[in-house]
DNA sequence: ATAATTGCAAAGCGTTTGCACCCTG
DNA sequence: CAGGGTGCAAACGCTTTGCAATTAT
């Protein structure tokens, strides 16, 4: 079983009105130690590889519920396959390394002024936005 | 048949090394008159509704080929279902109205400095990015 | 106790592919 | 006329769902 379980995760489950089942904690644990984003299938495969008993449908249902409550982010960079990632609670964006697929959260957004201006130019009011930056991290740059 | 066919589209097909078949022109025509973004299925449904003869597989293959050559954009806001949209040739972003789903292209990007700075903070070099802004257009604001 | 959750297997759905026929260049 | 393109239907892969058994509260 895991050693990285964060009490924080339990609180978040509770706050979302979700029962703290063994399976949900497994999913959260696995997400917590994963710096990349993962698909439901991959997550399930890993848990099974670790000898855990959990059904694929449960992984899907759990990720769906967590996403509904904002506990995980759903990244859709690969159409036809959703990726999930445990994420901070505030507004943030992702920086993905095209070499190793590592994902870093950009804490500060700082785009609000730009957004408001760009939207206003089209007579829109911006209500939400999503930025995904692709780049190369230091180690992948060296490797290349 | 269409009245909106743009000669421009033929050039783009040719430049991409794709033969100008009846089906491809149908797809391009339909995309050209569509301000929203559409799924492959929806596009196919409309063409058939117009009495056109074209197979679903061809629509998929065509959209895939057009996307490969940058003639259409692939938007993945709905995970598990790709949306396509004929798009300008340069770098740009999309502003989507959450009321009517109308999509507007934002010509200017103007994010490069912000991006470079944000990436550098994490020791990354930004190579690409994608921004999707959701908002409300003027008429949907009035309706609300 | 009892309502939520799980697991399995089957169903759903969007997308892709094999193959014979057709058409563009 | 040769090779790309098309249509159909079957195959695919990811995701969802029905239902009986299980489990958290």
Joined tokens for residue A29: 């644990």
Q: CB atoms < 10 A from the CB of A25, how many?
A: 17
Contact B85, B49 (CB under 8 A): no
Answer whether residue B89 shows pLDDT above 70.
no
CB half-sphere exposure, A57, CA atoms < 13 A: 0
Joined tokens for residue B42: 């929806």
Contact A49, A23 (CB under 8 A): no
Give per-residue pLDDT as tens, A23-33: 999 999 999 88
Check if residue A23 sits with its Cβ under 7 angstroms from strand C. Answer: yes
Contact A25, A9 (CB under 8 A): yes
Would you say the pTM of this structure is higher than 0.95? no
Tell me whether residues A124 and B104 touch, CB distance under 8 A: yes
Q: Which of A75, A102, A106, A124 to mutate to test the interface with B (most CBs of B within 10 A)?
A: A124
Compare B111 and A121 and report the one with higher pLDDT: A121
- Lowest mean pLDDT, pick from A69-73, A101-105, B98-102, B117-121: B98-102
Q: How far is the CA of B7 from the CAs of B18, B30, B62, B71, B105, in angstroms?
A: 15, 14, 18, 14, 21
Joined tokens for residue A88: 């901070």
SS (H, E, C) A44-110: HHHHHHCCCCCCHHHHHHHHHHHHHCCCEEEECCCCCCCEEEECCCCCCEEEEECCCCCEEEECCCC
Answer whether residue B82 shows pLDDT above 60.
yes
Tell me whether residues A134 and B128 touch, CB distance under 8 A: yes
Q: Which of A95, A122, A129 sits opposite B122 (nearest CB)?
A: A95
């Amino acid at each position: 079983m895991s050693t990285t379980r964060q009490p924080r995760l339990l609180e978040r489950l509770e706050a979302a009105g979700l029962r703290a089942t063994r399976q949900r904690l497994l999913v959260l644990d696995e997400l917590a130690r994963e710096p990349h984003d993962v698909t439901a299938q991959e997550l399930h495969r890993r848990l099974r590889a670790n000898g855990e008993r959990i059904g694929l449908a449960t992984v899907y249902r759990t990720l769906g519920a967590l996403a509904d409550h904002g506990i995980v982010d759903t990244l859709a960079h690969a159409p036809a396959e959703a990726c999930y990632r445990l994420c901070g609670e505030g507004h943030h964006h992702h920086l993905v390394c095209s070499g190793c697929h590592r994902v870093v959260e950009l804490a500060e957004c700082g785009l609000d002024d730009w957004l408001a201006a760009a939207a206003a130019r089209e007579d829109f009011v911006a209500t939400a936005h999503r930025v995904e930056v692709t780049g190369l991290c230091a180690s992948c740059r060296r490797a290349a």
